Homo-oligomer: A and B are copies of this chain.
Amino acid sequence: MKKAVVLLSGGLDSATTLAIARDQGYICYALSVDYGQRHKSELDAASQIASTLGATEHRSVSIALDVIGGSALTDENIAVPEQPDQGIPVTYVPARNTVFLSIALGWAEVLGVTDIFVGVNAVDYSGYPDCRPEFVAAFEALANLATKAGVEGERFRIHAPLIQMTKGQIVTEGMRLGVDYSLTVSCYQADEQGRACGLCDACRLRAQGFKEMGAPDPTRYQETG
């Protein structure tokens, strides 16, 4: 049986990625990262999603990225924008996906696994540099040089099945595979119950996905005054 490590944030994209990996026949080891993000409720969501989508194991690694700050997601003095931004927005967390994939690579080595799934997407996304195909390819090249398995001739594959899909296509695929999107939390400033603000980039892209496919949006929103 083939095995994979799947990065699982608890959001829409990574839940869909886990469903795709399972559908491709992988035994899945889901990995979440608690990096000091504002939206901690996504970690509770990740745990529920891992269980409902049949991950064999789910681990969560803590890393104190708030020590270096530099993002609206890790520094409480930088506000999450509630209007679309030009260029790379302040919600970009420096080197986040590099850090996440590195941890996934470490766990993959421990498990003797060479397949890693990540839910990055370069179509309906926020312009983050570490969501592009060239980034994923460069990480794959690095993985083969960085590891004992790579030195011994095994080849790592970084799977990014969503990378060329629109949000609508992602939601369609996820629903086909039985993802319960009411469990997922996308909002950058979700409250403790996982309810979304409806205003940030992540909320906007998510709502667009459901609208695009004409499906009801199961997101739970915060009440506004």
Contact = CB atoms under 8 A, between A and B. Distances in A.
Contacts of A110: 68-70, 94
Interface stretch (A6-14, A16-24, A37-45, A99-107): A99-107
B135 A146 contact: yes
Which size class do A's interface residues fall under?
Answer: 35 or more
Given A139-B142, A141-B141, A142-B139, A148 B92 contact: yes
A123 to B, nearest CB: 17
A102 B99 contact: yes
A67 interface: yes
Interface string A59-70: 111111101111
Given A63-B61, A94-B106, A102-B98, A145 B138 contact: yes
13 contacts: A63-B64, A65-B103, A68-B110, A69-B110, A94-B106, A94-B110, A94-B148, A95-B146, A98-B105, A98-B143, A129-B151, A132-B145, A135-B145
A150 B138 contact: no
A201 interface: no
Contacts of A134: 145
Contacts of A92: 148
Contacts of A135: 142, 145-146
B107 A68 contact: yes
A130 interface: yes
